[in-house]
Each structure stands twice: as C-alpha cells, then as structure tokens.
C-alpha cells in the first residue's frame, strides 16, 4: 500500500482530480476527431457530385473557371446626332371668332353645318331683311325730298342775286336765301348718312364669316329672335391653318437657343403625341416671349405649323421638340451600352476573340436613345448593350446582335 494513502481506506483526492482531467482531455480529443470526420465526409460528397466519376476532368475545369456569358451587342455607328430642347406644349389657334348678329331680328336661315370648313366672306346666316328694307326706302325718300328742296333754294338764290344787283331787294333777303341753301345742303348730308346706315343694317342682316376656319356647334336655331347684345352668338369659328403651338423652356436653355437663332431664325419645331412616339407635324419657331417668367424660371415660345392635314387641334396637348444643333459625323451608340462607375463612364467592347474589354469613354452629347462618344471608341466596334451585370474585364461572351437605332436619332 502506498505510504501516501490514508489509513482509513478512502480514495486520495489529488489522484481523483488527476483522473478527472485525463477523462476530460480524452473526451475533447474524441469530439475533435468526430468533427474532422464530418468535415471530411462532406468534402468527399462534394467532390463526388461536382466531378465525374471516372474519365479525364481536364476538359471541364477551364469551362467552369471561365463561363461564356450571353450578351447583346450593337456596333458603334458614324452619323448625325440632332440635339433638341423638349417641352410640353399646347396647340393654339391663330384666330377664334364667335359669330354674332350686329342687328336685331328673326333668324330666317342658317347656311352652315356644324363642323364645316368655311372661308372668309362665306354666308353663314340671314336675318329677316324686310324691316331694314323699309327703313332704307324711308331714308331714300327723305333724301330725294331734301334734294328737291335744295334745287329750289339754289334757283331762288340765283334770282335773288340778280334782284339784289338791280337793287330791288335788300341785302337781308339775299343773305336769308344763302342760309337756306346751306341748310338744305346740310340736311342732304344727314339724309345720305341715314340712307347709308339703312343700307349697312340691311347688309348686316346677312351674316358672313370674318375668317377661314372650322365652324363649331350651332348655338341658335332658325326662327329665333336674336339681338346684337346676345352673349352666346350663333357659332364659333376657329382657324386651323396655320396653327400655333405654345410651349415653355427653362431659362438655362436660353443661351443655346439664342445661339441657334442667330444661325437660323426659323428653327425647326416638331410636335409629337403624349407618348412621344408619333410625330404629328413639323413647323418652325415663330417667336419668343420678351421676358422670363420668374415664378417658373421659363420663357414662352411659339411655333407655327401649316397643319395642312389638320393633325393638330386647338387646345391639344403635345410634346414640342425644338432643334437647336446637329452634331455631324459623331460616334453613336445606344444609351444602354454606356456604363458608369466612380472612375467615370465606360463601355464593354467585344474583341475579335469573343472576350470583352472595359474601355473608358468620353460622352459628348446625349439625345433620346443615342449617345455621341467623344473619345475612346471607333466606328464599327461592338458595344455590349444587355447582360453587362455579369461581365468583367476579359469575360468570354456569346454575342447576339441588338436592335440598333438609326444614325439620325429619333425620339
């Protein structure tokens, strides 16, 4: 028996602690081995499923290391880029007239149909002319009576002059006859004015169109009594040819506009529909306003359009595009091909070996779906336009040709 053991037969405390530590260490080692066995098993399964069982794997590794990325690409083209100032505009008629009667009377005839295109001077309606014909007859009768009186007064004046020369009548009698002639002359002038007024009222009983344009809806039917003071009128005529488009541009675009107007006072203006897809009409810039609206920071412009096909309608909302400059022989690519990063703008260029190159470029101008490249790209080079999110320098690609906008840019 060990001399260190107690004589009572109880286990030694120090040995008990030592045995406990040994057991703990053995348990930790076992757990680590079990963990390594699990890791090795998982790795074996991964190797089993990732690599084919049997055969040479050398042909698979390069393809997995450098996968081919399907992309769409478009060639850079040499062409002209039109630069526009775009704004929302409203179609405005040059002239809009409410047709009203200038005399009172019964509306006998309506000689137009709703929506009819009329010309200046066309007869639109007729008012009962009989009251004005009676007035004209009365005025002409009064004029004839006073003209006869004037002739008689002049005859008496000639006789009184002879008698006065013979000292048969007094000077006063001669002067009275001179005054009578003058009164009848004045009366005749007044009578002529009455006759002219009666003729004018008779003319006004026939209502004609003051402008050429399109007649709107009829507001009064035949048979009604109308007055010169009526507010509604008979109809509204709107001039359609030519027609104007009013639009506003930011004041920041004013310098470029003034520069363009010096080179060409009649700048082309195009009118498009709400979706900016269909061109409605082409006209020219007519004028600009004489001041900037401080509340909006814009200046108003007016364009003139022939509107021969009536494609523009008064109060219609359109998108106006004002051509201010054309860049000739520019390198053009679709906007989808331009990428941006913190280092600047770049494009992915497809090389002859079907790999891509990240190439920095300088953007000269942008308009619609086209971008003019100033530096970094040549005409004919293929630029990736779709699938760029999977690319990096040197990636291998499978190119599909993308739809390319024409060289002359469109909206």
Write out pLDDT tens, residues 307-328.
999 999 999 999 999 999 888 8
Say if CB 188 and CB 150 are below 8 A apart: yes
Instruction: Enter the tokens of residue 44.
Output: 């074996």
pLDDT at 361 over 60: yes
Three-class DSSP category at 14:
helix
Q: List pLDDT tens digits, range 83-95.
A: 899 999 999 999 9
> Integer distance in angstroms from the first to the last C-alpha of the chain?
107
Q: How far is CA 300 from the centre of its chain?
A: 13
CATH topology of domain 101-227: Helix Hairpins (1.10.287)
Arithmetic mean of pLDDT, 129-148: 95
**pLDDT tier at 8, thresholds 50, 70, 90:** very low
Q: Which of 95, 92, 111 is nearest to 234 (CA)?
A: 111
Mean pLDDT, residues 71-82 = 89
Rounded to the nearest angstrom, the gap between the alpha carbon of residue 290 and the centroid of all alpha carbons in its chain is 21
171-185 residue pLDDT tens: 998 899 999 999 999
Helices (H), 96-169: 130-165
pLDDT tier at 237, thresholds 50, 70, 90:
very high
Domain 69-80+328-401 in this protein, CATH class? mainly beta
Between the alpha carbon of residue 212 and those of residues 119, 120, 307, 360, the distances in Å are 4, 5, 14, 59
Q: Is there a contact between 66 and 393 (Cβ–Cβ < 8 Å)?
A: no
Q: Is 355 helix (H, G, I), strand (E, B) or coil?
A: strand
Q: What value does the mean pLDDT of the chain take?
A: 85
Region class of 173: left (phi > 0), else alpha (psi between -120 and 50), else beta: alpha
Please give the Cα distance from 212 to 215 (Å, whole number): 9
The fold of the 84-94+238-327 domain, in CATH, is Elongation Factor Tu (Ef-tu); domain 3 (2.40.30)
CA angle 92, 98, 100 (to 5 degrees): 170
Specify the DSSP class assigned to residue 21: H
User: Residues 209, 122: contact at Cβ < 8 Å?
Assistant: yes
pLDDT at 272 > cutoff 60: yes
d(CA 333, CA 73): 10
CA distance 134 to 199: 10
Q: What is the pLDDT of residue 223?
A: 93
* Average pLDDT for 191-219: 95
């Amino acid at each position: 028996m060990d001399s260190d053991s107690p004589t009572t037969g109880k286990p030694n405390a120090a040995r008990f602690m030592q045995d406990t530590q040994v057991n703990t260490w053995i348990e930790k080692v076992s757990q680590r081995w079990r963990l390594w066995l699990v890791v090795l098993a998982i790795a074996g399964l991964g190797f089993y499923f990732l690599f084919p069982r049997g055969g040479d794997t050398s042909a698979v590794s390069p393809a997995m290391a450098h996968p081919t990325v399907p992309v769409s690409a478009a060639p850079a083209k040499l062409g002209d880029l039109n630069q526009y100032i775009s704004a929302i505009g409203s179609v405005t008629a040059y002239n809009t007239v409410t047709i009203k009667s200038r005399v009172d009377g019964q509306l006998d005839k309506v000689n137009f149909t709703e929506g009819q295109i009329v010309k200046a001077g066309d007869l639109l309606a007729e008012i009962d002319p009989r009251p004005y014909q009676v007035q004209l007859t009365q005025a002409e009768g009064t004029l004839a009576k006073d003209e006869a009186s004037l002739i008689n007064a002049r005859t008496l004046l000639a006789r009184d002059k002879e008698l006065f020369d013979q000292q048969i009548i007094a000077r006063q009698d001669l002067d009275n006859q001179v005054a009578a002639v003058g009164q009848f002359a004045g009366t005749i002038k007044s009578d002529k004015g009455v006759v002219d007024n009666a003729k004018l009222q008779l003319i006004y009983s026939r209502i004609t169109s003051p402008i050429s344009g399109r007649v709107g809806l009829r507001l009064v039917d035949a048979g009604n009594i109308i007055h010169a003071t009526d507010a509604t009128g008979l109809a509204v005529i709107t001039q359609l040819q030519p027609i104007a488009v009013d639009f506003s541009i930011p004041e920041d675009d004013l310098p470029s506009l003034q520069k363009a107007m010096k080179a060409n006072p009649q700048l082309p203006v195009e009118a498009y529909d709400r979706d900016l897809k269909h061109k409605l009409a082409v006209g020219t810039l007519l004028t600009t306003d004489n001041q900037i609206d401080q509340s909006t920071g814009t200046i108003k412009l007016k364009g003139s359009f022939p509107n021969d096909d009536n494609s523009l309608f008064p109060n219609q909302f359109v998108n106006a595009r004002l051509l201010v400059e054309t860049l000739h022989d520019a390198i053009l690519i679709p906007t989808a091909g331009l990428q941006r990063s913190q280092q600047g703008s770049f494009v992915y260029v497809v090389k002859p070996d079907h790999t891509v190159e990240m190439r920095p470029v300088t953007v000269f101008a942008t308009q619609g779906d086209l971008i003019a490249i100033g530096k970094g790209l040549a005409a004919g080079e293929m630029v990736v336009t779709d699938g760029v999110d999977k690319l990096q320098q040197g990636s291998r690609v499978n190119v599909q040709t993308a739809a390319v906008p024409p060289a002359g840019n469109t909206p």
